[in-house]
Amino acid sequence: MADKVYRASTTAPVNIAVVKYWGKRDATLNLPTNSSLSVTLAQSDLRTLTTASCSASYPASEGDWLLLNGEPSDVSGARVQACFRELRARRAALEAADPSLPKLSTMPLHIVSENNFPTAAGLASSAAGFAALVRAIADLYELPASPSELSLIARQGSGSACRSLFGGYVAWRMGGKADGSDSMADQVAEASHWPEMRALVLVASAAKKGVSSTSGMQQTVATSSLFQERIERVVPQNMAVMEKAIQDRDFAPFAEVTMRDSNSFHATCADTYPPIFYMNDVSRAAIRAVEQINAAAGRTVAAYTFDAGPNAVIYYLEKDTELVVGTFYHVLGGEIDGWKNDAVKGLKPTTSLDGGVASLLKGGVSRVIMTGVGPGPQKADEHLVAEDGTPVRR
Amino acid sequence: MADKVYRASTTAPVNIAVVKYWGKRDATLNLPTNSSLSVTLAQSDLRTLTTASCSASYPASEGDWLLLNGEPSDVSGARVQACFRELRARRAALEAADPSLPKLSTMPLHIVSENNFPTAAGLASSAAGFAALVRAIADLYELPASPSELSLIARQGSGSACRSLFGGYVAWRMGGKADGSDSMADQVAEASHWPEMRALVLVASAAKKGVSSTSGMQQTVATSSLFQERIERVVPQNMAVMEKAIQDRDFAPFAEVTMRDSNSFHATCADTYPPIFYMNDVSRAAIRAVEQINAAAGRTVAAYTFDAGPNAVIYYLEKDTELVVGTFYHVLGGEIDGWKNDAVKGLKPTTSLDGGVASLLKGGVSRVIMTGVGPGPQKADEHLVAEDGTPVRR
C-alpha cells in the first residue's frame, strides 16, 4: 500500500488597498516604507483555491512543485522558497517536540492552485495566491499559527499578500525591526462590522502593466523628491483618519482618504525619474465620472482608487447602488462582461455623465466586476489534489 | 488741427519655463510660492506685436481700450488696471518733475495688439501679451525703467509675463516682501551665451485647457499634501542646478532638471484634490519618445517639459537636430503644419519609436512649432495704430 497523501485546501481573497503600499525599505524581506490598509473582497467573485499536499511517496527527485491555473509554476524563486522554508521550520519544531507526529516537513510539497477570475480581469492575483499558499501549507502542517503570524510569512512571498489572511478591513503595520518580525497584518474590523461596503471594478485594460510594481516602487523610493513627504507625513495621517472612518462606518472620510491616497501614490509615480504612469485617459475619465456622480448626489457616494494599473476600483455603499452602478451600467451598456443581472436589473440612469467622460469609458472599459467586502481565507472541502496525489483535472 | 497722437510699438516673446511657476502666495499681486526659470523663444516664430497710443483727442468717454487680434478686449479687469495704474503713476512723476513734458498720463490709452501665431497653437499668450503691453506703454511714456523694474509691473498682469521682458535665459526671483517689490525677473544669460538651444513644440490639443492655471495653482496650494515639499526643497535645488547648467552650457543637467521639474509640477497637480490632469496619453507618449531618443543616442539629446496643457515642448541643441527632429518628423509625417522645410529637408529617421508611442503621437499631434532661444522685447517700426489714431486694418 502506498504512503498516505496528506492534503489541506483553502481559499484566499483578493484585497484592494485604500491606503497604498508603495516602497520597500528591505526588498528581500518585503519590508515596506509605510503602513497600508485594505478592504478584503468577497471570494464568490475573486478568490484563489489552493490545495497543499505532501507524501513520503512523492519522488524526492521531483522536489516541491506548484501547478497554477493548470500550468507548472517555478518554485525556485527566493519568495516562494522563503515561504516554504518558514513553514517547514515551524512544522519541524512541532515534530521535534512530538516524535509521534508524521515527518511532513521532510516530504516534498505538491501544490495546486486555481483562481476563479480570468487573468483578463487584470487584477494582481499574487496577494490571494501567496495568502492561499501559506494558509494551505499551514493547515497541512497543522501549525498553531495565528493569521498575523502567517501574515509575516505571506509578506515575504508578496507584500500585499499579508493583508489577504484576514477578512473585512485590514491594516499592514510597517513595523520597525530590521528582521521584519513586527511587519505584519491585523484586522481593523470584521466584514460584518461594515458589511454594506461594495466595490465596482472597471477593467480598463487586460494588458500587462508596463512597469512591475516591485521595480516601480523601488524606482520611486530611489528618485522621487516627493516620496519622503508621502511616507513620513501623508500616509500616517491617512492611516489614522481611515481607521477611525472604518470604526465609525463613516463613508465620507473613508472615500476622501481613499481618493486622496490613490492620488498621492500616483503623484509619486509621476514624480519618479523617469516617470511611471499607471493610469491612462480611461482611468482619468473614471475619476471624473466619480466626481460627477458625487456632485449630482450632493454627497460622497463613491470613491475611486487605482493600483499599479489602469483599472478603477470604485467603493460605494449598498444603499447607493443605483446612484453609482446605475450610472456606469447605462454608460457602459449591458453587453460587456461582469454585470450581475439581479443587481443591475431595473437600475435607472441616475447621473448623466459629461460626454467626453462617457465616450472614453464606453470605449475603454472592457469588463466590470461587481463585488464587496468579504471574509478571510476559508478551509475548503474541495481538493485540487486527489487522494492518490494526482492533480484534479477540471 | 487735431491733437497729436503719441505712439510706441514693441514686440515681446513667449517664454517656456524649465523650472515651473505653480502657486501664488498673493493672488492680487501675483506673488509666487517659488522662483522659476525660463527660456525666451524666438519672436520670428512666436511673438506679440503691440502699439500703445494716447492722445488728448481721444474721447474721454471711451476711456482706455485694447484691441487684441482684431477683437475688443476687456481692460476693466484688476490685472490690466494694475498695469495701467503703475505705468501712469511713473509717467505722472516724470511730468511733475518736468512741466514741459506733455501730460500723457492724463490721456486715454488706445492699445492694439496682435500675435503672429494661431490660437490653435494652444500656447499661453498672456506672458507675451502683458510683456508687450507694459513695454509698449513704458516706451510711449518714455519711462527710464529697467526691464527688471518693468517686470514688477508685468508680473501683476500675468505672473510669467515678467520673464518675457528679457531674452535668453531668465529667472523670476520669488522675493520675500509682502508688497512684492522684490519679486521680479532678471537675466541669467543672454541668448547669445547659449544660442544653440532649440525647441520643438508638439501641439497635442488646441482645446482650451480644463482648469485654468490661475485656479489650478490655487487648488494645488490649498489641497496638495506634497506641494510644500516641492516649493521648499525641490524647486530651490532645481533653480541652483539649472543656473549652473546654463552658465556652463551643459545640456545634460539642463535636460534632467527640465524633465524632473515638469514631472514634479504635474505630480503636485495629480496630488491636488480633486486631482488636476493637464497631460493626456499623447503627452505621455511624447515623454516615452524623448526617453527612447535619448536611449538610442546613448546620451541626453532631448528634454520634455509641459505647462498647464497637453502640449510637449522639447528642448534640444542645434547639433542634435537630426536625432530629435528627424525622429519626430518621420513619425508625424510632413503633412501637419509647422515644419520648417529647410530644417527638416533630408533629415533621416534616426530613432525608431516603440509602435504604441508612434501611433499615439501620429494620431494626437495636430501641428508642430520649430523654434529656439531668442531675444527680449524689440522696439518696432510697424505701428498698429495710424498717425490719426485709427487702428491699422491688416
Q: What's the CATH code of the domain at A202? A: 3.30.70.890
Residue A205 pLDDT class (50, 70, 90 cuts): confident
Cα–Cα distance, A95 to B41 (Å, whole number): 77
Q: Is residue A319 within 8 Å of A196, Cβ to Cβ? A: yes
Residues A261 and A311 in one domain: yes
Domain end: A137, A169, A191, which one? A191
Indicate if the pLDDT at residue B185 is higher than 90: yes
Residues B246 and B143 in one domain: no
Indicate if the pLDDT at residue A31 is higher than 90: yes
Residues B64 and B209 in one domain: no
Cα–Cα distance, B125 to B122 (Å, whole number): 9
Question: What's the pLDDT score for residue B173?
Answer: 98
Domain end: A176, A191, A206, which one? A191
Q: By CB neighbour count within 10 A (0-12 exposed, 13-18 middle, 19+ buried), where does B16 fall? A: buried
Mutate to test the interface with B, among A257, A271, A278, A305 (most CBs of B within 10 A): A271
Mutate to test the interface with B, among A34, A220, A226, A266 (most CBs of B within 10 A): A226
Residues of B with CB under 8 A from a CB of A: 224-226, 228-230, 233-234, 256, 259-260, 263-264, 266-268, 270-275, 277, 280-281, 284, 287, 291
Residues B201 and B250 in one domain: yes
Task: Work out the minimum CA distance from A263 to partner chain B, whole angstroms.
Answer: 5
Task: Work out the minimum CA distance from A307 to partner chain B, whole angstroms.
Answer: 15
Determine, yes or no, domain membership for B36. yes
- Taking an 8 Å cut-off on Cβ atoms, the answer to whether A287 and B275 are in contact is yes
Determine, yes or no, domain membership for B394. no
Determine, yes or no, domain membership for A389. no
Question: What's the pLDDT score for residue A355?
Answer: 86
Residues A179 and A255 in one domain: no
Residues A110 and A227 in one domain: no
Residues B286 and B346 in one domain: yes
Q: At what angle do helices B355-364 and B281-297 cross, to 10 degrees?
A: 130
Residues A150 and A206 in one domain: no
- Taking an 8 Å cut-off on Cβ atoms, the answer to whether B273 and A280 are in contact is no
pLDDT, tens digit, for every residue of B325-345?
A: 999 999 999 999 999 998 898
Mean of pLDDT over chain A: 95
Domain end: B142, B173, B191, which one? B191
Determine, yes or no, domain membership for B393. no
Task: Work out the minimum CA distance from B324 to partner chain A, whole angstroms.
Answer: 18
Residues A126 and A143 in one domain: yes
Residues B170 and B210 in one domain: no
Residue recorded with cell 503691453: B133
* A114 φ, ψ (degrees, to nearest 5): -140, 140
Indicate if the pLDDT at residue B19 is higher than 80: yes
* B142 φ, ψ (degrees, to nearest 5): 50, 45
| Residue among A21, A238, A220, A26 at smallest CA distance from A126 | A21
- Taking an 8 Å cut-off on Cβ atoms, the answer to whether B260 and A272 are in contact is no
Domain of B284?
Answer: 197-372
pLDDT, tens digit, for every residue of B238-286?
A: 999 999 999 999 999 999 999 999 999 999 999 999 999 999 999 999 9
Determine, yes or no, domain membership for A386. no
Determine, yes or no, domain membership for B345. yes
pTM of the complete model beyond 0.90: yes
Indicate if the pLDDT at residue A119 is higher than 80: no
- Taking an 8 Å cut-off on Cβ atoms, the answer to whether A263 and B281 are in contact is no
Residues A179 and A207 in one domain: no
Residue of A nearest to B235 (CA): A225
A268: chain B residues, CB-CB within 8 Å: 226, 267
Question: What's the pLDDT score for residue A393?
Answer: 76
pLDDT, tens digit, for every residue of B84-126?
A: 999 999 999 999 999 999 999 999 999 999 999 876 556 768 8
Question: What's the pLDDT score for residue B124?
Answer: 67
CATH of residue A17: 3.30.230.10
- Taking an 8 Å cut-off on Cβ atoms, the answer to whether B270 and A263 are in contact is yes
Task: Work out the minimum CA distance from B277 to partner chain A, whole angstroms.
Answer: 8
Residue B206 pLDDT class (50, 70, 90 cuts): low
Average pLDDT over residues B174-184: 97
DSSP string, A177-195: -TT-TT-EEEEEE-GGGST
Cα–Cα distance, B391 to B393 (Å, whole number): 6
pLDDT, tens digit, for every residue of B275-330?
A: 999 999 999 999 999 999 999 999 999 999 999 999 999 999 999 999 999 999 99
Residues A214 and A161 in one domain: no
